[in-house]
């Protein structure tokens, strides 16, 4: 019985320590236009890229003009770890503020923010190129699922071994 508990304990430790940052909340990797940047022409969208996939349920991005007007328009698009919010009406020169509330893959809501400046409002909008999602963004989920399955197999084997042993007499 001691061996069984030792095996289960070791398996649990391996599972806990191998997940590393995969169990952490999503973090903002980058924002386009970049946080603190200065743009000559207004962008047509704001793109937020996270270090892991995020959920689309409850996602909200608000882009506010220097005068306090919400310039976010249209539907938010969430694809893997990238959140795209279309914007329109960036006619004021000055600093625009971005505030986003996103649900992390682990179910926890997170709030991120940033800002960018427009120096020449009224110019034709220039599309902002979003970075395509990488396959690396979903690798954390695969590792967690694989480790869970390994843990289930170890527990099942331990149960079978304990039940097959003849009771001590």
What does the alpha-carbon distance between residue 94 and residue 156 come to, in Å, rounded to a whole number? Answer: 62
- In the prediction, which pLDDT does 35 show? 94
Going along the chain from its start, the domains and CATH numbers come out as 2-164 (2.60.40.1220)
Neighbours of 2 (CB within 10 A): 6
Distance (Å, whole) CA 89 – CA 106 = 35
Q: Give the pLDDT score at 125.
A: 45
Do 154 and 9 contact (CB within 8 A), yes or no?
Answer: no
pTM of the shown model: 0.59
Model pLDDT, residue 149: 83
pLDDT of residue 169: 67
Dihedral sign for Cα atoms in the order 155, 159, 164, 168: positive
Alpha-carbon distance of 34 to 66, in angstroms, equals: 17
**Strand partners for 98:** 63, 114
Question: CA separation (Å) from 133 to 17, 40, 79, 130, 150?
Answer: 27, 27, 8, 9, 28
CB atoms < 10 A from the CB of 162, how many?
11
pLDDT at 167: 64
What pLDDT score was predicted for residue 38?
93
Candidates 96, 167, 164, 87; CA nearest to 127 is 87
Q: What is the dihedral of CA 48, 50, 52, 57, to 10 degrees?
A: -40
pLDDT at site 131: 52
Chain-centroid distance of CA 90 in Å reads 27
- pLDDT tens across the length of the chain (169 residues): 777 777 777 777 776 666 554 456 788 999 999 999 999 889 999 999 999 999 888 899 999 999 999 999 989 999 999 999 999 988 889 999 999 999 887 788 999 999 999 998 654 444 555 555 554 445 556 677 777 888 888 888 888 887 776 766 6
pLDDT attached to residue 18: 61
* DSSP state for residue 70 in the 8-state scheme: B
């Amino acid at each position: 019985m001691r061996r069984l508990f030792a095996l289960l304990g070791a398996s649990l430790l391996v599972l806990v320590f191998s997940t590393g940052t995969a169990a952490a909340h999503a973090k903002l990797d980058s924002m386009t236009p970049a946080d603190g940047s200065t743009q000559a022409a207004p962008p047509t969208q704001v793109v937020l890229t996270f270090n892991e996939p995020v959920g689309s349920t409850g996602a909200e991005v608000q882009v506010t003009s220097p005068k306090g007007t919400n310039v976010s328009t249209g539907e938010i698009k969430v694809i893997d770890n990238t959140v795209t919010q279309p914007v329109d009406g960036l006619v004021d020169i000055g600093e625009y503020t971005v505030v986003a509330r996103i649900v992390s893959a682990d179910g926890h809501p997170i709030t991120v923010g940033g800002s960018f400046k427009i120096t020449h409002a009224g110019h034709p909008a220039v599309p902002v190129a979003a970075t395509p999602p990488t396959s690396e963004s979903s690798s954390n989920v695969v590792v967690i699922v694989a480790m869970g399955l390994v843990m289930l197999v170890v527990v099942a084997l331990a149960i079978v071994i304990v039940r097959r042993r003849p009771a001590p007499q």
